[in-house]
Amino acid sequence: MASRIICEVDDGAPVTVVRLAGTLDLTTTRAAYRVLDRCLAAQPDALVVDLSGLRVDHPLAVSVFAAAARRAAGWPVVPMVLCAPGPAVESLADSGACQVVPMRRSCDEAAQVAGASAVPRLRMRLEPVAAACRRARELVVDACARWNLPEAVGPASVVLSELVGNVVRHAGTPMQVTVTLRRPWLHLAVVDGSSTPARPGESGHRDEGGRGLLLVRELADRWGSAPAGDGKAVWATLPAN
């Protein structure tokens, strides 16, 4: 008989809770990862994964939680905590997954830990118009003023403006822009409605200032592109000085 896993999502603010029930094995990990990935892409303040109804049938299957947490570290910078009462605790402890993802025995405690780990974040919805780049720079200025990061204003403004400009020029869809502080890094992300990945080769398409994704790569400590719902997220991290 084929194994099954049931995923229930409670996306009430500020902490999203995912309840997994059924059997976690090497077959169902893909379905579990898809749910976690979709929830992370919505950029909640924090994510709790309730494993109280889950039976682990293969020790390697629990690595799905560490994989989701590592993915979230670059983007969307969402803290993730496992709630694993009963037998699930031993399976996770033996696997080493709890060395990557914090784990608690009750959902209330997990939600408290997750909420306390939430990081400052500013969001803005933008249309794919020329003024979007200016509004993105204004968001960076606001964020850096709130978080006392005067030295980050210049490079972060350029990077976020380029990420937004890339959406205006190539994707042409509405976008969500996010600035997140998780010291020692300032995280910048733009989620658009196009599934076409952003690639360094696109830096050949330059705006009036001769800048493009090549400039993002030069100024950012790290940058990348990841699927996000029906579209993608392009993100970059800079020192939070």
pLDDT above 50: residue 210: no
Looking at the DSSP bridge assignments, the partners of residue 83 are 50, 104
Lowest pLDDT segment from 107-116, 135-144, 147-156, 169-178: 107-116
Question: Which domains does the chain possess?
Answer: 5-117 (3.30.750.24), 121-239 (3.30.565.10)
pTM: 0.81
DSSP string, 14-55: SEEEEEEEEEESTTTHHHHHHHHHHHHHT--SEEEEEEEEEE
User: What's the first-to-final CA gap in the chain, in angstroms?
Assistant: 56
Please check the confidence at residue 199 and state whether its pLDDT lies above 80: no
Say if residues 16 and 46 touch (Cβ distance below 8 Å): yes
With 0-12 CB in 10 A as exposed, 13-18 as middle and 19+ as buried, what is 36? buried
What per-residue confidence (pLDDT) applies to 49? 94
